[in-house]
Chains A and B, each alone.
Chain A
Amino acid sequence: MKIKPLYLRRWLPVAGLLLALPVSASAHTAISGVGDFFGGVLHPLTTPAHLLVLLGLGLLAGRQTPLNLKIPLAAFIPVSALALVLTTTGLVKTVYPPILISIALVAGALIALGRPLPSTVIGALFVVAAFALGLDSAVENGTPISITKTLLGTWLGLILVVADIAYYLSFVTKQKWQQVGIRVAGSWITAASFMILAFALRR
């Protein structure tokens, strides 16, 4: 089943605007002054490795014509939720950075190749990415309520970023030069990921 564009048009821009809403000041979040929930929402945008992965996933899903976000989001939403819940057990505090960057590298390479991909491949990449991103978004300290708020915000932020990129990209995939532009962007993601991997291995 395809997600209806009308449905996306209603909730994605509104939810995107929610990202910009100010809330009362709080000094205990990663971003001072935005509160637990919005600190969580903004977390994927302020973590470069996460943003690189989400950019890769968004471009990968959005370049498919016709746009079909059902499988990617059906994979991404529950798995990221599961991973975020797992962070509360304290078993995993962070994900080995090269794993996250490798996901971005694979996504970028698939975009740069420019070949149509089976939904299963995209879905599998979304599952792996959702799990890694979720596990890497652990909240280090706070009350149970503030941790819950932050994780909920992070979950929403992850979904919004990837869905927004994919959705809006789908408007610019019709022309040949636009498709080439997306492939070039994929090569940039791959190149940057490769460099970051090297840097991570050096340390």
Chain B
Amino acid sequence: MNSKSNPKPNLPAWFGLLLLALWLFPSTASAHQETGTVWGFRSGFVHPLTGLDHIAAMVAVGLWGVFLGAPAMWVLPVVFPLVMAFGGALGVLGVPLPGVETGIALSSVILGIAVAFAVRPPLWVAALIVGSFAIFHGHAHGAEMPKAANAATYAFGFVVATGLLHLSGIALGLLVRWSWGKNLVRVGGVAIAFVGFGFLFHFIPA
């Protein structure tokens, strides 16, 4: 048969594998506590992905990094988890940190504005801004860590998920090499700032 009578399927091969992986992905029965190694990782991995405020800020870190160019593009995703872990430790240890939710919302506002206006401060200023906000995000993750979760895999899960969100931001930010992409990324910054304002003034429910 020629290729016309036997056309190639439209879906790539990896799509089938993705479906299979999703099918195998376990869901939690509501009566069960999330205990053990796998549940700890799942719980930690999902945690940053369940809050729009976290997602917006993490993606903004990646987008801003691209606008700042090398080495900031890579320094920020290295700095953020390290400082976030400090905040996370405070949360785990029960050390109170005032204004955590406000800090998280502000991080989306400030980082979104920085992306929207393509602000390019010196690297140390950018690292200081990102690092300051990382403490609030880390504290929220640490304080909300389920008692039953395996500490090691929970921590690794949420660090990896956070890092992947940064990488997503960087990947999206690479559109700046085209003029239309630069505009699109800046519009993305506006959207992120808007989300931040939403959480800050409670017109987006937390």
Are A and B interaction partners?
yes
- Which chain A residue lies CB-closest to B91? A198
Find out whether the CB atom of B78 lies under 8 angstroms from the CB atom of A184: yes
CB distance from A56 to the nearest CB of B (A): 12
Interface size on B, residues (CB 8 A): 28
* Residues 162-203 of chain A, each 1 if its beta carbon lies under 8 Å from chain B, else 0: 000000000000000000100110111011111111111110
In the complex, whether A46 has a CB less than 8 A from a CB of chain B is yes
Residues of B that sit less than 8 Å from A by CB: 37, 40, 74, 77-79, 81-82, 84-86, 88-90, 92-94, 142, 145, 150-153, 155-156, 159-160, 163
What chain A residues lie within 8 Å of B78 (beta carbons)? 112, 183-184, 186-187
Number of interface residues of A (CB under 8 A): 25
Question: Interface SS of chain B: helix, strand, loop or mixed?
Answer: helix
Q: How near does chain A come to B155, taking the closest CB pair, in angstroms?
A: 4
Q: Is the interface of A mostly helix, strand, loop or mixed?
A: helix
Indicate if the CB atoms of B152 and A192 lie closer than 8 Å.
yes
Interface residues of A (CB under 8 A from B): 46, 48-49, 52, 101, 112, 180, 183-184, 186-188, 190-202
Residue of B nearest to A190 (CB): B82
Partner of A201, one of B81, B93, B145, B156: B93
In the complex, what residue of chain B is closest to A49 when comparing beta carbons?
B152
Q: Give the residues in chain B near A188, CB-CB below 8 Å.
A: 81, 156, 159-160, 163
Question: What are 22 A-B interface contacts by the 8 Å CB criterion?
Answer: A48-B37, A48-B150, A101-B152, A112-B82, A183-B74, A184-B77, A187-B81, A188-B81, A188-B156, A188-B159, A191-B81, A191-B84, A192-B85, A192-B156, A194-B82, A194-B89, A196-B152, A198-B88, A199-B92, A199-B145, A202-B93, A202-B94
Bound together, the chains give a CA A195 to CA B162 distance in angstroms of: 14
